[in-house]
Amino acid sequence: MSVVAEHISEHVHRDDLGSRMGIWLFLFTELVLFGGMFLVYAVYRFTYQQEFHVAAKELNTLIGTLNTLILLTSSLTMVLAIVAIRKDNKFLSIFFQVITIFLAFGFMVNKYFEWMAKIHHGIYPGSETLLAKGNGEILFFGLYYVMTGLHGLHVLIGMVLIGVMTRFTMKGTVNSDKYIHLEAAGLYWHLVDIIWIFLFPLFYLIT
């Protein structure tokens, strides 16, 4: 740990370990946030086992698998971007950050087509087709839209964050000595990834 700089006039106070602690605590809150939804999922899965089983067959496992691959790869490129900046390779770091954003974008495009196909088939909250089905299926798709929707929102926020970091890296605010912001964005990105790793089997694989 570097010594905390003292006697600097306007609250310029640097403590990378403290910042890292802060971001981890924030990630805990995100986990608890999604934890609430996983709890709701668990309760309804237990109550409506048969109907969840039927409903899950309607989801497209291929797109799900593809998206899992894309997101896992993007986590890798994010790590590489951080390693690159630590080794003072600014260009390579920017390159990997852009690839990460690109992969995230790909994830969202897939998600868009997946949702659109569902909506096209008349499966969305409040639709006649869905309301004609059993309660368990209504809840399954309700959870599907809410959980993947909130996850998608996190992907979008992650994209914006990494975009800002790319700008910072270009300007040199993020550099080989001070890359805590990029690291924070990276940790956030891994959270988005890990939540998907749980969503994927719960909705697509357990049929």
Partner 1 sequence: MHDKEQSVSYLDYKGKHSGIFAWILSTDHKRIGLLYLMASLLFFAVGVTFGFLMRLELIAPGRTIMDAQTYNSLFTLHGIIMIFLFVIPGLPAVFGNFFLPILIGAKDVAFPRLNLLSWWLYVLGALLAVISVFLPGGPADTGWTFYIPYSIRSTTNVMPALIAAFILGFSSILTGLNFIVTIHRMRAPGMTFFKMPLFAWSLYATAWVQILATPIIGITLLLVTVERMFGVGLFDPALGGDPVLYQHLFWIYSHPAVYIMILPAMGVVTEIIPVFSHRTIFGYKFIAFSSCAIALFGSMVWAHHMFTVGMSETAQVIFSLLTFLVAIPSAIKVFNWVATLYKGSISTDAPLLYALGFIFLFSIGGFTGLIQGALSVNMHIHDTSFIVAHFHYVMFGGTGFGIFAAMHYWFPKMFGKMYNMKTAKVGFWTLFVGFNTLYFPMFVMGWLGMPRRYFDYLPEFQIYHFISTIGSWILIVGLIIMFTNFIKALRSKTSYTNINPWSGETLEWTVPNKPPLENFEVIPTITAGPYEYKDNDEILTKEDN
| Measured torsion, CA atoms of residues 195, 199, 205, 207, in degrees rounded to the nearest 10 | 150
Find the binder of partner 1 among 70, 84, 138, 159 (CB under 8 A). 138
Shortest distance, CB of residue 56 to partner 1, whole angstroms?
16
Shortest distance, CB of residue 155 to partner 1, whole angstroms?
17
Alpha helices for 48-134 (secondary structure H): 49-56, 61-86, 90-120, 128-132
Q: How far apart are CA 190 and CA 194, in angstroms?
A: 6
Site for partner 1 in 33-52 (CB under 8 A): 33-37, 39-40, 43-44, 47-48
Q: How far apart are CA 114 and CA 202, in angstroms?
A: 17
Q: What is the DSSP letter of 15?
A: -
Shortest distance, CB of residue 191 to partner 1, whole angstroms?
13
Contact set with partner 1 (CB under 8 A) = 10-11, 13, 15, 17-19, 21-22, 25-26, 28-30, 32-37, 39-40, 43-44, 47-48, 125-126, 131, 134-136, 138-139, 142-143, 145-146, 150
